C-alpha cells in the first residue's frame, strides 16, 4: 500500500505574470496564502494551468522553489516536471526535487509519442532521476497519448510511482485502473466535472482548476464524500457552476437510489440509454448514458445530466 501524496483537493495553481511575461512572485505568494487559508489540500505548481509549457527551465524552477519556501511544509507541494524528452524530464525532476518539492507531476510524452513500453521506460527513468514520489498525468486529449490500464499496473510496481492524475474522461478506464492497481496507485481526478465518480472508484482527490477560484468549495466536496455524504459532495460542485457546466457534471448514481434503465441494447458494443434514479428522500434524477462494453464488463459515461439541484441541496 502506498500512502497518497495528499488526500482531497489540490489546486493546479496559476502562475501570475507581469505584462512583460515575467513571474509576479508577490502575487503568487498572495495567491498561495489565500489557497491555504481556504483549506486547499495541496499546491500543484507549474502544471498545465501554471503555464509550464511557456516557461524556461530557469523560470519553472524559480517558481517551484518560491512556492516550496512560501508554503513551508503547511501542505504538500507537487512540482510539474514532465517533458516529451526523457533526458530533459530527468533533469527537471532532479532539479525540482532539489528545490524541495514533495512530489512530481509528470505528463506523458506529447507530439513525439511513444509505445506503452516506452511509457514504462520514460516514467521509470524520470522517477528514478527525481528520487521522490511521482504522480503521472494522463491527458490524451492534449497529448495524443493514453496510459493504458495495464501500463498503469506495470508502473504502479515501482516504489516511486505513487499516483495518477486521470484526465482521460473515460470512467470505464479509471475503473479498470482502480481494479488492477488497488492501493499501489493513488488516483486523482484531472477533471473538475468527474470528482465524485472518481472518488467513488476509490480515488484520493482531485487536482483542480476550479480550486483557483473556489478552493474551499472543492475541498468541502471531497471532505463530504470522505465523510460519507455523497449527496452533499455532488451538490457542492453542481450548485456552484453555471448552467452549461452543470450539464457536464458526471455524477455517480446517489447512494440509496432506485435505478431504472430504458432503451439499452445489450447486443451492441455501444448503446445509449435513459437512466432514472429515484432518490431515497424524494425526487428523481435522469441521465442519458452511453454504455460501452469492454472485454468482461460494461463501462459507462454520462453524456448529459438533468438534475433538480434544489432537491439535491435538501438531502
User: CA–CA separation, 304 vs 315, rounded Å?
Assistant: 22
Bridge partners for 80 per DSSP: 105
Q: At what angle do helices 86-98 and 116-130 cross, to 10 degrees?
A: 30
Non-local (6+) Cβ contacts of 58 within 8 A are none
Which entry of 65, 137, 204, 223 is annotated as an active-site residue?
A: 137
How far CA 98 is from CA of 6, 91, 122, 170, 272, in Å, comes to 20, 11, 20, 35, 50
Closest by Cα among 203, 204, 193, 191 to 236: 193
Does 137 participate in catalysis according to the annotation?
yes
Does 165 participate in catalysis according to the annotation?
yes
Which entry of 95, 165, 176, 214 is annotated as an active-site residue?
A: 165
Phi-psi region of 283 (alpha: psi -120 to 50; beta: other; left: phi over 0): left
User: CA–CA separation, 183 vs 204, rounded Å?
Assistant: 10
Residue 27, number of CB atoms within 10 A of its CB: 14
Non-local (6+) Cβ contacts of 297 within 8 A are 172, 175
Give the DSSP H/E element, type plus range, for residue 116.
Answer: helix 116-130
Closest by Cα among 11, 44, 76, 69 to 218: 11
As a 3-state breakdown, the chain gives helix, strand, coil percent values, each rounded to 5, of 40, 25, 35
CA 311 to chain centre: 28
Catalytic center residues: 137, 165
Amino acid at each position: 500500500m502506498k500512502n497518497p501524496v495528499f488526500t482531497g483537493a489540490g489546486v493546479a495553481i496559476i502562475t501570475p505574470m507581469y505584462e512583460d511575461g515575467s513571474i509576479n512572485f508577490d502575487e503568487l505568494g498572495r495567491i498561495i496564502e489565500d489557497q491555504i487559508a481556504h483549506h486547499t489540500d495541496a499546491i500543484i505548481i507549474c502544471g498545465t494551468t501554471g503555464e509550464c509549457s511557456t516557461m524556461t527551465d530557469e523560470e519553472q524552477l524559480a517558481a517551484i522553489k518560491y512556492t516550496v519556501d512560501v508554503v513551508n511544509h503547511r501542505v504538500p507541494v507537487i512540482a510539474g516536471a514532465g517533458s516529451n524528452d526523457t533526458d530533459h524530464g530527468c533533469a527537471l525532476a532532479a532539479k525540482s526535487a532539489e528545490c524541495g518539492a514533495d512530489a512530481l507531476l509528470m505528463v506523458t510524452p506529447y507530439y513525439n509519442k511513444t509505445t506503452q513500453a516506452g511509457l514504462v521506460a520514460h516514467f521509470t527513468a524520470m522517477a528514478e532521476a527525481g528520487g521522490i514520489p511521482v504522480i503521472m498525468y494522463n491527458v490524451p486529449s492534449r497529448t495524443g497519448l493514453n496510459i493504458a490500464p495495464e501500463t498503469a499496473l506495470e508502473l504502479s510496481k515501482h516504489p516511486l510511482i505513487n499516483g495518477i492524475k486521470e484526465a482521460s474522461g473515460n470512467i470505464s478506464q479509471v475503473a479498470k485502473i482502480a481494479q488492477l492497481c488497488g492501493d499501489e496507485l493513488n488516483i486523482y481526478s484531472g477533471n473538475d466535472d468527474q470528482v465524485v465518480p472518481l472518488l467513488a472508484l476509490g480515488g484520493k482527490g482531485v487536482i483542480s482548476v476550479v480550486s483557483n477560484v473556489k478552493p474551499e468549495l472543492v475541498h468541502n466536496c471531497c471532505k463530504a464524500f470522505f465523510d460519507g455524504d455523497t449527496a452533499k459532495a455532488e451538490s457542492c460542485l453542481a450548485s456552484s457552476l453555471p448552467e452549461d457546466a452543470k450539464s457536464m457534471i458526471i455524477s455517480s448514481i446517489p447512494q440509496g437510489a432506485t435505478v431504472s434503465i430504458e432503451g439499452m441494447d445489450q447486443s451492441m458494443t455501444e448503446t445509449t440509454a435513459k437512466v432514472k434514479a429515484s432518490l431515497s428522500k424524494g425526487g428523481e434524477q435522469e441521465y442519458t448514458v452511453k454504455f460501452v462494453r469492454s472485454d468482461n464488463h460494461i463501462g459507462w459515461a454520462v453524456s448529459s445530466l438533468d438534475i433538480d439541484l434544489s432537491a439535491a441541496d435538501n438531502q
